[in-house]
Chains A and B, each alone.
Chain A
């Protein structure tokens, strides 16, 4: 998709926020690449595309690429493009397992920025013992974290799950704004958030520590 179709200025990023973002993104030591799968006839997709373009324009360590759903289905089979907008973080051409379904507005801007910080480096601190254990996970696990953009607890859970994904290739952590996908809210009977669904099997409510989630993931052989 031609990114010139997308405004480089997001109405969601104010001058004050832009200044804060520059402060954080200025600390990046490596590179990260955002892939956005968007349907530009949809308002949420346009919002996310503009936000991604604006955000990545604030750092020379960040790049961004846009795909239409049909293009992405063929080119990016690793992504779930049934929930648009879908934004994923890549490192050195490889999907990190970190994705966002919906617009990363509200509290979820924290999740997106920290995910970039964790992927590009320097990254948030993590207990070395836990990090080592995460790197040894043998089975791929997928975590869907259902959130609401106004929920401050939700961002904490998304950040923790995606920090795990930034460390381990075996972990995929996808934020899903359940407001945008009511069929999922119904399917998973979501009454409280954050709600994390692990491997379509286990359901966690509330904010868990990385160690607590590791203990669950390691049980999957």
Chain B
């Protein structure tokens, strides 16, 4: 699969588990606000609850940015519920847990490991039009950091709002003065 940047989410409809309830979610639900699709291999595993709990701890900050989180695994919504019933970490999750047992979403985003029926740890930040603005894909065992993801969401929002006409201010005290360069083509 090639570069995903600016790819628009394709039509889908999957079941979901959210705040103790079952629901249905389609591509239209991902539009009108920023979204994060957070793929993980499977429920009832060790690294996953750590990551999902980390996301749950920062969920309010994502909401403050107008960003909704959708975790996705290849389990059914019933398995999500069973996991929430069994795990205190998962029970505290307030964001939407999508169920993708047919691999529709994982295949669409290129993270499905077909022979294992599991998704790689892929994270996709979508703008309010449902287009991918940033993503990363980790191998199974490599965890992610919610705070870093929040920073990326903020950066993506910032660029959308201000264009690409800003630079991060990472100056270091004591740096040498840069040699001047003159580029006045078309300005005189």
A residues whose Cβ falls under 8 Å from a Cβ of B: 12-14, 17, 20-21, 24, 27, 44, 47, 51, 103-110, 113-114, 117, 124, 146, 148-151, 153-154, 156, 159, 178-179, 182, 185, 190-195, 205-207
Contact = CB atoms under 8 A, between A and B. Distances in A.
Given A146-B169, A179-B173, A205-B162, 4 more contacts: A106-B180, A113-B182, A114-B187, A206-B166
B177 A193 contact: no
B167 A192 contact: yes
A104 B180 CA distance: 7
Given A113-B184, A153-B166, A207-B165, A14 B171 contact: no
A205 B161 CA distance: 10
B169 A185 contact: yes
Given A17-B182, A124-B188, A148 B177 contact: no
Contacts of A12: 177, 179-180
A105 to B, nearest CB: 4
B3 interface: no
B150 to A, nearest CB: 15
B184 A148 contact: no
A117 B184 CA distance: 11
B182 A105 contact: no
Contact of B181 (A106, A156, A185, A194): A106
A24 B184 contact: yes
Nearest to A149: B178
Interface in B154-172: 158, 162-163, 165-172
B179 A110 contact: no
Of all A-B residue pairs in the complex, the 10 with the closest CB atoms, nearest first, are A109-B180, A106-B178, A179-B171, A206-B165, A105-B177, A151-B167, A207-B165, A149-B178, A206-B162, A192-B166
Contact of A21 (B163, B165, B182, B188): B182
Contacts of A151: 167
A191 B168 contact: yes
Given A13-B180, A109-B181, A206-B163, A191 B169 contact: yes
B116 interface: no
Interface string B96-128: 000000000000000000000000000000000
Nearest to B162: A206
B175 interface: yes
B148 interface: no
B166 A205 contact: yes
A126 to B, nearest CB: 12
B21 interface: no
Contacts of B188: 24, 27, 114, 117, 124
Contact of A150 (B165, B173, B178, B183): B178
